[in-house]
Amino acid sequence: MKNTGTLAVTTPTDRGIVMTRVFDAPRRLVFDAWTKPELLKRWLGVFGGWSLAVCEIDLRVGGGYRYVWRGPDGAEMGMRGVYREIVPPERLVATESFDEPWYPGEAVDTIVLREHGGRTTATTTVLYQSREARDIALKSGMEQGVAAGYDKLAELLASQVAQGGSSSGV
Amino acid sequence: MTHSARLDTTFAALADSTRRAILAQLTFGEASVTELARPFAMSQPAISKHLGVLERAGLISRRRDAQRRLCRLRARPLAEASGWLEGYRRFWDESFQRLDALLAEMKTRRQRARPKQGGHR
């Protein structure tokens, strides 16, 4: 089960956020879980008292999707987008824009599924219109609520020391 | 400063590889300006400029100890900055844990629906 369940989030380009995650299932199932409303409602953003109350999908190029989440105290968050590429069970490209925009412009999501020995590596890339938009999106995510520890950044910095150590000859 | 403006300052300060390397060194403890300058091909005034940016962002504090000017890491703005990626991450991490459970269920259902094709019994 090594590497299954570990989510890697990186910002390898100015406008992008890339997430990688391994699932212990063939990609056919992962693709279904990502494109069928009754399945998406079971997992996407469903935690902390939130449910994916509305999930409508018109799975064809140029077709749209619509998600509305409902949270505690009647809070709602809606988003929609249009499918640009659909290659079952390996690739899905769609735009995303929120009803109440929290970053400028719309973003483009690309989901790529690769299968090895019955397991699927899902790589999700979110490409924003500008670096500013990407940074705002990231910051908003933070303001939604996590007081994360200092440990992770310390680890990151320490690993940079380890990497830089040999080149600087220290 | 508002929370958001404070993050801007923190990230502007972090958007430089020399400053990140300085912070990395400081995770091992307090260090003098001379010690911090050593790994870089840079003059002390240039290093002091970077230290000024880090100090204004609240990422380090500076003090004098006899002849030495010492710097140390301050944790709070870094905690906020690392939380930045963390919030985004949390949405997907929580979602994907749900997806794990759903996929396990889908696999079981599929095996039950086609017991003979598997041929594993």
Whether A164 and B103 lie within 8 Å, measured CB to CB: no
Report the CATH number of the B3-76 domain.
Answer: 1.10.10.10
A40-76 pLDDT, tens per residue? 999 998 887 889 999 999 999 999 999 999 987 788 8
The segment with the largest mean pLDDT, out of A3-12, A155-164, B81-90, B93-102, is B93-102
A85-128 pLDDT, tens per residue? 999 999 999 999 988 777 788 999 999 999 999 999 999 999 99
* Domains of chain A as residue ranges with CATH: 8-165 (3.30.530.20)
Provide ipTM, 2 decimals: 0.75
B16-68 pLDDT, tens per residue? 878 877 887 787 778 888 888 887 778 888 899 999 999 998 889 999 888 88
**Domain spans in chain B, listed from the N-terminal domain onward:** 3-76, 83-113
pLDDT top residue among A81 and B58: A81
Q: How far is A114 from chain B (nearest CA, A)?
A: 16
- pLDDT bin (cut points 50, 70, 90) of residue A33 is very high
Q: How far is A61 from chain B (nearest CA, A)?
A: 25
DSSP of B75-107: HHHHHHHHHHHHHHHHHHHHHHHHHHHHHHHHH
The predicted structure's pLDDT at residue B86:
63
pTM equals: 0.61
Over pLDDT 90: what percentage of chain B?
A: 22
pLDDT top residue among B31 and A146: B31
Q: Which residue of A lies nearest to B76 if distances are taken between CA atoms?
A: A150
Instruction: Indicate which of B84, B110, B111, B120 best probes the interface with A, i.e. most A CBs within 10 Å of its own CB.
Output: B84
* Chain B residue set in contact with A, beta carbons under 8 Å: 3-4, 7, 11, 20-21, 23-25, 27-28, 38-40, 75, 78-104, 106-107, 110
